[in-house]
């Protein structure tokens, strides 16, 4: 059995500080309208969190904390409880996700958000692919592919590091005139020269008691070997100082960054103000100020100081690391110089260190020019040291046992380092190859799987798409294999097959494709969930397509529970006036303490709601609501009929007066003979409505007198209702300008809808 939602409860969750319920006891559909930032999406977040264990928007690192309402009391756990008409209901908290629900929903498609559609329409190819996976409800598989790709990259980095280490250790062997492949043979020869048996492997030598075997003498490196080892070390150790860290430090201390002492001072002041609720002056400067204002001011200052201090600490750590690297460079060179002296090579002292440490401790700028000059001098010193070592000549060393032992010992250490590095490289290479094989298999399987899925829903996608865009020139949306690029969505576009869609379709058509992919996927595959959540999905649709999508949802998904959240008033009204039995809410606003505040729309239309208010004795509110109903009808007519209205900048187009809308409608109807005849039929009604708008429905204009009577308001509301219904087909109920602007959807009523005499 597929399940529907019957109740959603949020506690200390997203935009809800305390507790908030949405009751859908009859498992009915839900329609919610509200402006941006009023908490609508908290509802979609709650359903997503309960059924997937995460909120996709907050899944990225550093956003986790936003699941919980910032101001929620400590004792209040973050919780979402969902009741269903089956077995999947329950609750989940931050630490205990609802495993049963997540398991059941892991193969289902139930949530579509406007931003996923936007990603599908706008983003780069890779991001579009991910958005397509999310649309289809296959996001977790795509995330797995992404993580396997990251794992492969991590193992590739390890492999590259291991290879580099092997190369370094092999270079150390070559510095001793031994090729890595000959090292065991050379060690064997030297072992025999030292008077003991050669061993099969490098590790075998380490198992021997070499000191005893060599007659108790500790091997001492020969000048030639020390020379070679020094040259290798100087050549290998690169000068790498993060000068950018010093630059960032200079910018930070130059920008007035704050240390902890000032923070401590202001923190103490905040504590003092808390303890002295009747304070009338600042404890820091003694200026007169009320306790509340003082506390706010201090908290604001503290927050700014803490932000600056965080920046400072980060820059300080980076600068200290760079200073430490610089210090090591000097220490290395002093050590090398001492060793060179031991073998009779003289070089000048390394360049003087720059006073970086003291600058950091005293929180002042580092002398960047001096740092850069020092690095250049160190490089010059290295070149001079290498040249001096290169020019050293050696007397022929007698092949004494002591010398042989020194050469053997030095080679054995280098051989062991090379051997360990080679073994680590082999393991790292093997791990990378395995990760590569898994990733490639994953990528191939994902393409195959998505292709199978899309092929299965293609016919449904094409059918639903044609309901949204019933034109003869665009259709046949389907998935196709396309050369070595894998799979692509394709469309018939003016007689030609086009791939990908983005090349030929507009943003709103792409929007439609995204929506129908989602709908077809859910309808084809869902086994456990019988609800769909659509969160702000009509952003790029014009009025006609918003209407068509509303009809498609109502008609094609009447056996489903729909949760439609929108900030589009027209889309909301379009659906609201056509459905019965849905829970319909308007979000009036949101506050930090109370969360979203909702008002339930009981009547199907504004006129119904106004009549309810009238019954309840609120005649002023009824008049206002009736006026708004008339405005909505006129706006819908003007948008649907594309009435030419003077353009207004910004949002002013949304706030036209009734008189302007009526004038526009009249102008349109005057354009042809049928329109003129129709206008003649309804002009009396239009004049009455115009007059009603200025008098009966204009509650503010006569606020000071007694206002219109209940009877007058009721008559006017009925007139608004009749005017609204005038444009509907009596047979199918749709507006008469559907389908290319000339007829209703069933075709029975043409535009204009002439009254029969």
Partner 1 sequence: MQRRDARSFLEEVLLKVPDLTEEAREALLELANEKPGTKRASKLAAAIAQNKGPSDA
Contact residues for partner 1, defined by CB under 8 A:
53-54, 59-61, 103, 106-108, 140-141, 143-144, 146-148, 150-152, 154-155, 158, 427-428, 430-431, 434-435, 437-438, 441-442, 444-446, 449, 452-453, 456, 525, 527
Q: How far is the CB of 4 from partner 1 (least distance, A)?
A: 19
Which residue, 241 or 428, has its beta carbon nearer to partner 1? 428
Biggest alpha carbon–alpha carbon distance for the chain: 130
In angstroms, what is the minimal distance from the CB of 145 to partner 1? 9
**Cβ at position 136, least distance to partner 1 in Å:** 10
Q: Please, which residues have CB within 8 angstroms of residue 514's CB and are 6 or more apart in sequence? A: 112, 116, 117, 120, 121, 131, 135
| DSSP secondary structure code for residue 477 in this structure | E
Q: Kindly state the smallest distance separating residue 432's Cβ from partner 1, in Å.
A: 9
Which stretches of 135-231 are assigned E, i.e. beta strand?
A: none
Residue 616 to residue 595: CA distance in whole angstroms: 28
Q: Kindly tell me which of 265 and 427 has the beta carbon lying closer to partner 1.
A: 427
Phi, psi of 314 (to 5 degrees): -65, -45
| Residue whose CB is less far from partner 1, 143 or 492 | 143
Q: What gap in Å lies between CA 433 and CA 448, rounded to an integer?
A: 22
DSSP SS3 for 542: coil
Whole-angstrom Cα distance, residue 262 to residue 302?
9
| Nearer of residues 493 and 525 to partner 1, judged by Cβ | 525
Judged by CB, which is closer to partner 1: 148, or 375? 148
Q: How far apart are CA 103 and CA 735, in angstroms?
A: 44
Report in angstroms how near the CB of residue 150 gets to partner 1 at its nearest: 4
Taking each helix axis from N to C end, the angle separating 291-342 and 260-275, rounded to the nearest 10 degrees, works out to 150
Is the Cβ of residue 33 or residue 432 nearer to partner 1 in the bound state?
432
| C-beta of 4 vs 528, nearer to partner 1 | 528
Rounded Cα distance, 33 and 121, in Å:
24
Taking the complex as a whole, how short is the minimal distance between the CB of residue 347 and partner 1, in angstroms? 44
Between CA 3 and CA 540, with CA 555 as vertex, the angle to 5 degrees is: 95
Measured distance CA(306)–CA(304) in Å, rounded: 5
Sign of CA dihedral 114, 116, 120, 122: positive
Min separation Cβ 487 and partner 1, Å: 15
In the complex, the smallest distance separating the C-beta of residue 441 from partner 1, rounded to whole angstroms, is: 4
Beta bridge partners of 591: 595
Instruction: Show the tokens assigned to 750.
Output: 């043409």
Residue 162 tokens, joined: 């291991």
Taking the least distance from each CB to partner 1, the nearer of 146 and 715 is 146
CB of 635 vs partner 1, minimal distance in Å: 43
Q: Are 425 and 437 in contact (CB under 8 A)?
A: no
Question: What six digits make up the tokens of 145?
Answer: 């592919």
User: Strand (E) positions, 50-150?
Assistant: 79-84, 90-93, 111-113
Q: Closest separation between CB of residue 164 and partner 1, Å?
A: 18
Q: Which is nearer to partner 1, 110 or 249 (CB)?
A: 110
Q: Cα(535)–Cα(565) distance, rounded to whole angstroms?
A: 5
Angle of helix 606-615 versus helix 619-640 axis, rounded to 10:
170
CB 201 within 8 A of CB 181: no
Q: Give the count of beta carbons closer than 10 Å to the beta carbon of residue 224.
A: 18
Considering beta carbons, is residue 421 or 442 the nearer one to partner 1? 442
Residue number, 134 or 738, with CB nearest to partner 1: 134
Which residue number, 377 or 437, has a Cβ lying nearer to partner 1?
437
- Give the CA angle between residues 551, 552, 555 to the nearest 5°: 80
Residue 141 CB, shortest distance to partner 1, in Å, is 5
CA-to-CA distance for 595 and 17, rounded, in angstroms?
6
49 phi/psi in degrees, rounded to 5: -65, -45
- Note the Cα 549 to chain centre separation in Å: 27
Could you say which DSSP state residue 196 is in? S
Instruction: Select 97 or 675, whichever has its Cβ closest to partner 1.
Output: 97
Q: In the complex with partner 1, which residue's Cβ is closer, 66 or 220? A: 66
Query: Please, which residue, 177 or 434, has the CB nearer to partner 1?
Result: 434
Work out how close the CB of 479 gets to partner 1 at its nearest, in angstroms, rounded to a whole number. Answer: 14
If the CB atoms of residues 115 and 337 are measured against partner 1, the closer one turns out to be 115
Cα 114 from chain centroid (whole Å): 13
> Residue 106 Cβ, how far from partner 1 at the closest point, in Å?
4
Give the helix ranges, DSSP H, for 343-491: 356-361, 368-391, 401-468
CB of residue 180 to partner 1, shortest distance in Å:
22
Element (H, E) at 717: helix 710-726
- Exposure string for 310-346, b = 16+ CB within 10 A, e = fewer: ebbeebbebbbebbeebeebbebbeebbeebeebebe
Q: How far is the CB of 60 from partner 1 (least distance, A)?
A: 8
Tell me the closest approach of the beta carbon of residue 104 to partner 1, in angstroms: 10
Closest CA to 239 of 392, 100, 78, 350: 350
Name the 3-class secondary structure at 331. helix
Q: Are 597 and 589 in contact (CB under 8 A)?
A: yes
């Amino acid at each position: 059995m597929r399940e529907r939602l019957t109740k959603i409860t949020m506690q200390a969750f997203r935009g809800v500080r305390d507790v908030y319920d949405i009751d859908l006891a009859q498992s009915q559909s839900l329609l919610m309208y509200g402006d941006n930032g009023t908490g609508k999406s908290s509802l979609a977040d709650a359903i997503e969190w309960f059924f997937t264990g995460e909120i996709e928007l907050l899944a990225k690192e550093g956003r986790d904390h936003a699941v919980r309402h910032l101001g929620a009391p400590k004792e209040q756990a973050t919780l979402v409880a969902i009741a269903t008409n089956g077995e999947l209901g329950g609750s989940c908290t931050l630490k205990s996700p609802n495993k049963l629900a997540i398991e059941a929903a892991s193969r289902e498609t139930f949530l579509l958000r406007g931003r996923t559609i936007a990603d599908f329409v706008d983003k780069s190819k890779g991001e579009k692919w991910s958005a397509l996976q999310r649309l289809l409800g296959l996001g977790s598989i795509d995330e797995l592919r992404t993580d396997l790709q990251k794992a492969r990259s991590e193992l590739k980095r390890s492999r590259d590091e291991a290879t580099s280490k092997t190369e370094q250790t092999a270079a150390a062997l070559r510095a001793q005139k031994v090729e890595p492949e000959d090292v065991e043979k050379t060690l064997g020869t030297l072992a025999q020269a030292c008077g003991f048996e050669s061993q099969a492997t490098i590790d075998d030598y380490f198992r021997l008691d070499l000191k005893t075997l060599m007659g108790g003498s500790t091997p001492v490196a020969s000048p030639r070997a020390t020379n070679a080892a020094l040259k290798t070390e100087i050549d290998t150790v690169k000068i790498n100082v993060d000068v950018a860290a010093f630059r960032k430090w200079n910018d930070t201390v130059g920008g007035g960054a704050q240390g902890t002492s000032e923070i401590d001072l202001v923190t103490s002041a905040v504590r003092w103000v808390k303890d002295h609720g009747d304070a009338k002056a600042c404890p820091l400067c003694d200026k007169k100020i009320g306790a509340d204002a003082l506390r706010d001011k201090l908290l604001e200052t503290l927050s700014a100081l803490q932000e600056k201090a965080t920046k400072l600490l980060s820059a300080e750590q980076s600068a200290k690391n760079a200073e430490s690297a610089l210090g090591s460079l000097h220490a290395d060179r002093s050590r090398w110089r001492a060793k060179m002296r031991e073998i009779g090579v003289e070089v000048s002292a390394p360049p003087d260190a720059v006073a970086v440490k003291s600058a950091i401790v005293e929180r002042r700028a580092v002398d960047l020019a001096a740092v850069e000059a020092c690095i250049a001098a160190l490089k010059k010193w290295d070149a001079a040291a290498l040249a001096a070592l290169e020019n050293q000549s050696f007397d022929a060393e007698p092949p004494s046992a002591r010398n042989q032992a020194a050469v053997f010992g030095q080679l054995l250490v280098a051989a062991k380092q090379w051997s360990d590095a080679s073994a680590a490289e082999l393991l790292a290479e093997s791990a990378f190859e395995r990760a590569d094989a898994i990733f490639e298999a994953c990528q191939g399987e994902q393409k195959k799987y998505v292709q199978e899925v899309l092929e299965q829903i293609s016919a449904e996608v094409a059918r639903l798409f044609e309901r949204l865009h019933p034109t003869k020139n665009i259709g046949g949306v389907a998935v196709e294999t396309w050369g070595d690029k894998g799979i692509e969505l394709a469309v018939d576009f003016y007689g030609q097959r086009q791939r990908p869609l983005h090349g030929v379709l507009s943003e709103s058509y792409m929007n439609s494709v995204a929506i129908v992919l989602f709908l077809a996927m859910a309808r084809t595959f869902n086994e456990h969930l019988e609800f769909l959540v659509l969160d702000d999905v009509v952003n790029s649709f014009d009025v006609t397509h918003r209407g068509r999508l509303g009809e498609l949802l109502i008609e094609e998904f009447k056996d489903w529970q729909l949760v439609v959240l929108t900030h589009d008033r027209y889309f909301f009204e379009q659906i609201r006036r056509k459905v019965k039995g849905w829970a319909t809410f308007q979000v009036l606003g949101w506050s930090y303490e109370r969360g979203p505040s909702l008002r339930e729309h009981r009547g199907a239309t504004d006129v119904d709601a106004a009549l309810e208010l009238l019954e309840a004795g609120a005649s002023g509110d009824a008049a206002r609501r009736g006026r708004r109903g008339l405005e909505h009808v006129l706006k819908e007519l003007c948008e649907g009929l594309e009435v030419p209205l003077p353009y207004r900048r910004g949002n002013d187009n949304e706030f036209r007066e009734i008189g302007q809308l009526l004038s526009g409608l009249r102008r349109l109807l005057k354009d042809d003979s049928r329109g003129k005849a129709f206008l003649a039929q309804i002009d009396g009604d239009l004049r009455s409505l115009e007059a009603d708008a200025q008098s009966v429905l204009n509650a503010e204009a006569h606020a000071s007198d007694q206002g219109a009577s209940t009877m007058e308001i009721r008559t006017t509301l009925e007139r608004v209702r009749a005017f609204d219904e005038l444009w509907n087909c009596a047979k199918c109920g749709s507006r008469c300008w559907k389908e290319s602007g000339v007829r209703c959807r069933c075709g029975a009523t043409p535009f204009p809808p002439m009254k029969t005499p």
